């Protein structure tokens, strides 16, 4: 629940680098690439040049530069994860600046994004359970390096975190209460927001988050559709683990939670905060992202059932 994005130079030119320059940047780090085989722009903020079958050169697109996205931050986060081979993520091979281009050289994640395939219900649950276990590993890593890094935005205390939640929530509630077509439920949005805020425990976990471990960044095997790993840590920040629940349906969230507590149970305080923050996040999403309205209403409907 970070502040809204502001793009620093929205009218900047966005040229595609020629192959010679891409290969030069990669080779500066002792990596041999033969040819650019594909260019991926689906990430929005970044452009990824695929080299051969094993390498990626990632650059931020100039017109999509924003304060919370950082290749330096992604390099830092992935380097922290390099000590934990059971967490499958790309490996950093190089990071640098060349004139106006900041770049990151990575190993290529095997597999394909989960959003590009159709899974059965059982396959989807299995992927989400494995993702949940991976998120639990991420969230329980030693936090001192992340909390001490100026590269990661977000709040380090409960007070600052809750104040930010309340600020974002006040704006969302105002939109929902003045736009009748957005809110179909009997309980007023302000009343729901107040009830959920009151549920937040006196102590809450604040950890380094991926930010969006959704279907676009969760990779699966192209044939078996088994979970492979996660990509794209450039938007990482400090927050509560519930804010890393970025799949679209209530059933998805429950499957993630099942995996998250598979190896080690979570505390009752965690579950209370998880429940409250997912609801508060959905209120903000409903007010600010009309394209996801149907899925957000489905999740809020399921939440209201638990409160009745």
Q: How confident is the model at residue 61 (pLDDT cuts 50, 70, 90)?
A: confident
d(C-alpha 219, C-alpha 71), whole Å: 20
Domain boundary among the residues 85, 107, 129 is at 107
- Residue 291 and residue 181 in one domain: yes
- Residue 92 and residue 166 in one domain: no
Cβ-in-10-Å burial (0-12, 13-18, 19+) of 110 comes to middle
Give me the domain span that covers residue 99.
19-107
Give the pLDDT mean for 1-17: 71
Mean pLDDT of the chain: 93
- Residue 130 and residue 157 in one domain: yes
d(C-alpha 290, C-alpha 282), whole Å: 12
User: Above 80 in pLDDT, residue 88?
Assistant: yes
CATH code (residue 52): 3.30.200.20
- Residue 251 and residue 273 in one domain: yes
Question: Does some domain include residue 203?
Answer: yes
User: Above 70 in pLDDT, residue 300?
Assistant: yes
Question: Does some domain include residue 9?
Answer: no
pLDDT for res 307: 84
CATH code (residue 291): 3.90.1200.10
Span 254-278, pLDDT tens digits: 999 999 999 999 999 999 999 999 9
- Residue 133 and residue 243 in one domain: yes
Span 138-168, pLDDT tens digits: 999 999 999 999 999 999 999 999 999 999 9
Give the rounded percent of residues in the chain with a pLDDT score beyond 70. Answer: 95
d(C-alpha 108, C-alpha 49), whole Å: 10
User: Above 80 in pLDDT, residue 64?
Assistant: no
- Residue 194 and residue 301 in one domain: yes
d(C-alpha 241, C-alpha 228), whole Å: 21
Span 198-255, pLDDT tens digits: 999 999 999 999 999 999 999 999 999 999 999 999 999 999 999 999 999 999 999 9
- Residue 62 and residue 153 in one domain: no
User: Above 60 in pLDDT, residue 11?
Assistant: yes
Non-local (6+) Cβ contacts of 253 within 8 A are: 245, 247, 278, 299
Minimal CA–CA distance to 46: which of 87, 4, 17, 23?
A: 17
- Residue 118 and residue 174 in one domain: yes
- Residue 127 and residue 88 in one domain: no
- Residue 95 and residue 228 in one domain: no
- Residue 235 and residue 129 in one domain: yes
> In the chain, how many domains are there?
2
pLDDT for res 65: 65
């Amino acid at each position: 629940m970070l502040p809204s994005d502001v793009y620093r130079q929205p009218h900047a030119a966005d040229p595609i680098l020629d192959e010679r320059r891409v290969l030069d940047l990669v080779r500066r780090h002792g990596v041999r690439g033969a040819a650019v085989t594909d260019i991926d722009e689906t990430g929005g903020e970044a452009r990824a040049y695929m080299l051969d079958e094993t390498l990626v050169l990632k650059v931020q697109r100039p017109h999509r530069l924003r304060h919370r996205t950082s290749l330096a931050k992604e390099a830092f986060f992935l380097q922290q994860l390099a000590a934990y081979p059971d967490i499958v993520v790309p490996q950093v091979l190089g990071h640098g600046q060349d004139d106006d281009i900041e770049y990151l050289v990575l190993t290529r994640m095997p597999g394909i994004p989960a959003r590009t395939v159709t899974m059965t219900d059982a396959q989807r649950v299995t992927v989400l359970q494995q993702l949940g276990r991976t998120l639990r590993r991420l969230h329980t890593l030693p936090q001192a390096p992340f909390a001490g890094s100026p590269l990661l935005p977000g709040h380090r205390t409960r007070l600052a975190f809750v104040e930010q939640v309340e600020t974002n929530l006040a704006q969302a509630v105002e939109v929902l209460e003045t736009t009748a077509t957005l809110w179909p439920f009997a309980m007023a949005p302000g009343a729901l927001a107040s009830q959920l805020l009151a549920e937040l425990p006196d102590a809450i976990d604040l950890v380094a988050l991926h930010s969006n471990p959704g279907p676009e960044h969760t990779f699966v095997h192209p044939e078996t559709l088994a979970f492979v790993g996660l990509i794209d840590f450039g938007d990482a920040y400090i927050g509560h683990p519930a804010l890393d629940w970025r799949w679209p349906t209530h059933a998805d969230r429950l499957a993630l939670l099942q995996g998250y507590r598979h190896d080690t149970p979570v505390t009752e305080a965690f579950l209370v905060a998880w429940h409250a923050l997912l609801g508060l996040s959905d209120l903000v999403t409903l007010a600010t992202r009309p394209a996801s309205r149907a899925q957000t209403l489905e999740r809020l409907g399921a939440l209201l059932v638990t409160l009745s």
